[in-house]
Chains A and B, each alone.
Chain A
Amino acid sequence: MAKSTDLDVGYVSKLARLNLGDDETKLFQKQLADVLKYAEKLGEVDVSHVEAAAHAVPMFNVFREDEPGPCFTAAEALANAPQKANQLFIVPKVVE
């Protein structure tokens, strides 16, 4: 197990695309260090012969027929858009 002090909230917030204020960064650093310290005991469990469980009910390859069906109109899909025009989502320019 990694040491709980490895957590750098400022760095992880960049990975998460989630800005945090200085106070919030400090508070989370302390609170999550407590959580990680509590979780250190997971390191004691012998898992050498255990397969990881992503789901309680393992399911694989759930397919359906590839048939056309009803779907949203453009107006429905755009109904909650923060900004829209010409049946499109408007976003700030991100490429030069």
Chain B
Amino acid sequence: MSEKDLPALTIADLQSRLRKKEISPREVIESLRARIENVEPKIDAYLSLDFDAALKQAEKVDVDLPLGGVPIAVKDIINVKGQPCTCGSKILGNYRSPYDATVIRRLRAAGAIPLGKTNMDEFAMGSSTENSSFKVTRNPWDVSRVPGGSSGGSAAAVAADAAFGGLGTDTGGSIRQPASLSGIVGVKPSYGRVSRYGLTAFASSLDQVGPLAKTVRDAAMIMSGMAGHDPLDSTSLPDPVPDYTKNLGRDLKGVKLGVPKEYRVEGIDPQVSAAVNAAIKQLESLGAEIVHLSLPHTDHGIAVYYFLATAEASANLARFDGVRYGHRAKNPQDILDFYGRTREEGFGAEVKRRIILGTYVLSSGYYDAYYVRAQKVRQLIRQDFVKAFEKCDAIVSPTSPEPAFKIGERTANPLAMYLADIFTNTANLAGLCGISIPCGFAKENGSQLPIGLQILCKPLDEARIFQIAHAYERSTDWHKQRPKV
């Protein structure tokens, strides 16, 4: 294998070559640099890269560590010491992280090498990565289309072999949906499974950091490297972390898969329906039993999500006031002008829109009608899942109702963009874990566009998710197909 072909390897294959000393960590970084320089002008996945820091770490890395010598792309909302952390926003345009997020500290300890920061929708608000203040990332399968979002930079980089694996964050589908649209694997861990310390907060009761990878095994390896209790995050769970690669290879005999009738909604692309139905048949042929069930409050998920997520965001983003870091407006007349203009100049349209909605649902006179009511319906959505998981081990569905759409096609209609979160955001409301894996392709105007299958399990059942996803992946070759970028 020539150095040119190294970036196409999975993390598992890369590691075995590193450990056999067929290649050095330095060669890995250099080959990835060449690949990035080649494809980056076409996809624009990265916001910043630091090869010097990566090479320095590569010189002394122990390749026998669980992720020894594996470079990782990091969504630009996760703090990496000394690197920019813009959150895709002008308001943090000059910001540099003074510390490592816990996930970065853990991944470094496991031998992984943070290589660069990836593009995203501003403050993770969006499903297309078009809301970045800096640039539009393109889908490697068709560069006229979006890679999904908000973790679109990490997804596009992994899909284009410009990263071996990446980190994203998922508040309402922001890992699973770009994984689906970009044809890779994306995992949203259970709420509290991965530390949020050093993740710039969007909606604190919904946010989780998770991996994007080429294969289920790679995703399980990254998860094993970063999951677990963190005293610096009071919402992180104390439960012990199993080895997520342990269940890989186990069959599906006796596994019950739930198919909710509410997920048969209008507006699903027929090619997506066909691919997901075929995937469910395939899982059945592998030994799984299909259970038909109901999640009665599904239809309310999007309304609940957009009230709660924007309410939490309006509070979390109050910190961007121009005082201690970030953009500051010039020559203010008074303190209100100082805050008002700093934030007007620093935030983009979608962030402003969500701050307004969130402030409104929390404001006097509307708090009970919107915010508290949404919290109560959230409870009902959660109870739907508790009941469903008494009858099944996992729930299967499309990840996104449609494949990647054209850049610019949706930007004028925020509600239409929000509605596409229908299959993903209830998992965040209920604290579940979920994965998206490739399950086919749609053909549109000569383009081949990936389709994703979502598998959801009850909180802390990540090992089960990896088992089911891996059994499916082994029996198909969707994940082996790569975009020609």
> Are A64 and B231 interface neighbours, CB within 8 A?
yes
CB of B205 within 8 Å of the partner chain: yes
Interface-facing stretch out of B7-15, B91-99, B438-446: B91-99
CB of B286 within 8 Å of the partner chain: no
> Are A31 and B191 interface neighbours, CB within 8 A?
no
CB of B52 within 8 Å of the partner chain: no
Known contacts A18-B344, A41-B300: A31-B352 contact under CB 8 Å? no
Known contacts A18-B344, A19-B343, A32-B357: A54-B321 contact under CB 8 Å? no
Give the Cβ gap from B185 to chain A, nearest Cβ, in Å: 23
> Are B324 and A80 interface neighbours, CB within 8 A?
yes
Known contacts A16-B314, A42-B304, A56-B382: A31-B414 contact under CB 8 Å? yes
CB of A91 within 8 Å of the partner chain: yes
Q: Which residues of B contact A85 (CB under 8 A)?
A: none
> Are A92 and B343 interface neighbours, CB within 8 A?
no
Once the chains are docked, how many angstroms separate the CA of A88 from the CA of B95? 18
> Are A20 and B359 interface neighbours, CB within 8 A?
no
CB of B66 within 8 Å of the partner chain: no
Give the Cβ gap from A12 to chain B, nearest Cβ, in Å: 5
> Are A28 and B325 interface neighbours, CB within 8 A?
no
Residue-wise interface mask of B (290-315) relative to A, using a CB-CB cutoff of 8 A (1 in contact, 0 not): 00000001011011101100000010
> Are B341 and A54 interface neighbours, CB within 8 A?
no
> Are A12 and B359 interface neighbours, CB within 8 A?
yes
> Are B379 and A53 interface neighbours, CB within 8 A?
yes
Contact of A57 among B366, B373, B431 (CB under 8 A): B431
Q: Which residues of A contact B231 (CB under 8 A)?
A: 64
Interface-facing stretch out of B146-154, B329-337, B447-455: B329-337
CB of B376 within 8 Å of the partner chain: yes
Contact of A12 among B99, B307, B349, B360 (CB under 8 A): B360
Give the Cβ gap from B484 to chain A, nearest Cβ, in Å: 38
> Are A6 and B366 interface neighbours, CB within 8 A?
yes
Q: Which residues of A contact B432 (CB under 8 A)?
A: 56
Give the Cβ gap from B244 to chain A, nearest Cβ, in Å: 20
Q: Which residues of B contact A83 (CB under 8 A)?
A: 328
> Are A55 and B205 interface neighbours, CB within 8 A?
yes
CB of B275 within 8 Å of the partner chain: no
Residue-wise interface mask of B (332-373) relative to A, using a CB-CB cutoff of 8 A (1 in contact, 0 not): 101110111101100101001101110110010110011011
Once the chains are docked, how many angstroms separate the CA of A52 from the CA of B98? 37
CB of B47 within 8 Å of the partner chain: no
Give the Cβ gap from A22 to chain B, nearest Cβ, in Å: 12
> Are B429 and A39 interface neighbours, CB within 8 A?
no
Give the Cβ gap from B427 to chain A, nearest Cβ, in Å: 9
Give the Cβ gap from B356 to chain A, nearest Cβ, in Å: 5
Q: Which residues of B contact A35 (CB under 8 A)?
A: 306, 357, 414-415, 418
Q: Which residues of A contact B360 (CB under 8 A)?
A: 7, 12, 32
Near B by CB (< 8 A), chain A positions 16-55 give 16-21, 24, 28, 31-32, 34-35, 38-39, 41-43, 45, 47, 50-55
Contact of A17 among B234, B328, B339, B357 (CB under 8 A): B339
> Are A56 and B429 interface neighbours, CB within 8 A?
yes
CB of B109 within 8 Å of the partner chain: no
CB of B459 within 8 Å of the partner chain: yes
Once the chains are docked, how many angstroms separate the CA of A81 from the CA of B323? 7
Q: Which residues of B contact A6 (CB under 8 A)?
A: 366
> Are B307 and A53 interface neighbours, CB within 8 A?
no
CB of B380 within 8 Å of the partner chain: yes
> Are B334 and A94 interface neighbours, CB within 8 A?
yes
Once the chains are docked, how many angstroms separate the CA of A91 from the CA of B335? 10
Q: Closest residue of chain A to B364, judged by CB?
A: A15
> Are B299 and A28 interface neighbours, CB within 8 A?
no
> Are B191 and A80 interface neighbours, CB within 8 A?
no
> Are A54 and B375 interface neighbours, CB within 8 A?
yes
> Are B205 and A42 interface neighbours, CB within 8 A?
no
Give the Cβ gap from A9 to chain B, nearest Cβ, in Å: 6
Sorted nearest first, the 10 A-B pairs with minimum C-beta distance are: A56-B431, A80-B325, A52-B375, A39-B303, A19-B340, A82-B328, A47-B376, A19-B344, A62-B234, A53-B379
Residues of B within 8 A of A (CB): 94-96, 98-99, 191-192, 205, 231, 234-235, 237, 297, 299-300, 302-304, 306-307, 314, 318, 321-328, 332, 334-336, 338-341, 343-344, 347, 349, 352-353, 355-357, 359-360, 363, 365-366, 369-370, 372-380, 382, 414-415, 418, 428-432, 459
Sample 28 A-B pairs with CB under 8 A, ordered by A number.
Answer: A2-B365, A13-B356, A16-B314, A18-B355, A19-B343, A28-B352, A28-B353, A32-B353, A32-B360, A39-B370, A42-B300, A42-B373, A45-B297, A45-B376, A47-B377, A52-B372, A53-B375, A53-B376, A53-B378, A56-B428, A57-B192, A72-B98, A77-B98, A79-B96, A79-B98, A80-B326, A91-B323, A94-B334
